[in-house]
Structure 1
């Protein structure tokens, strides 16, 4: 049961993304590239939640990456059917980069948390005393 519950935050966030993607208009800052930053951030959250769920389910982090990147592709496909929206490969790339970045950060953080040695956290460098 604990493993199944670990996936709920990721599913809830995916539903939120789907909901926003289904809107004909989405308020986006007018700055150039701002939409790519928003794509990156939204999918970084999803990637972090997927990494957490994969970890709790004893799955390899690559599962989180695969699920996130595939979901991003289906989201872009979904947008191609929404009036006033379009599918864009650059949006998918921003989504995929967000997922990969968050999964990388999560796995790095888990490795540091699992290794209690002082050197793992960058503290306790060896001294030069003889």
Structure 2
């Protein structure tokens, strides 16, 4: 009868210590959903559409990377970077599909492409920067295996 409570407690013990790193990504995803639900989003006439999409999803990629690396305390593996890109791409597709039902909004594959480029640019940049810092810390701590 109380199996769901035990399952919830087990899940909270496993997930909750690192869940707070994912809060910015969840909140930002909610903001993207909210803005895509507006018939006339704020700033639509100020910034070109593709520029807004690029930076909107670049920041989304940053929040996803923050969660995956536990606040940039762990290295971002290439596998994790690809998974984050796929998650963001699926969210972008869902966002454009959602926009197709909003009055005065149009779904566009071009927007999805720019969204994916924005995420890839940000996640890729973080991957390169974090990879360099991780290697640098390995060299300075004497964990360099190139001396053999």
- TM > 0.5: yes
Aligned pairs for 1:8-87 (under 5 A) are 8-26=23-41, 27-29=43-45, 34-56=48-70, 60-87=80-107
Name the structure 2 match of 1:102.
122
Name the structure 2 match of 1:115.
135
- The CA deviation at 1:61 is 1.6
* Structure 2 Cα separation of the partners of residues 112 and 22 of structure 1: 40
* Structure 1 Cα separation of the partners of residues 25 and 131 of structure 2: 21
Please tell me whether Structure 1 or Structure 2 has the larger radius of gyration of its CA atoms.
2
Q: Structure 2: 5+ residue runs without aligned partners?
A: 1-15, 140-148
Report the number of matched residues.
116
1:3 counterpart = 2:18:
yes
Q: State TM-score, norm by structure 1.
A: 0.81
What stretches of structure 1 move > 6 A for 4+ residues in a row? none
8 A Cα contact 1:55 1:61, kept in partner: no
Q: State TM-score, norm by structure 2.
A: 0.71
* Structure 2 Cα separation of the partners of residues 55 and 76 of structure 1: 28
RMSD in angstroms over aligned alpha carbons?
2.1
Q: Structure 1: 5+ residue runs without aligned partners?
A: 120-130
- The CA deviation at 1:78 is 0.3
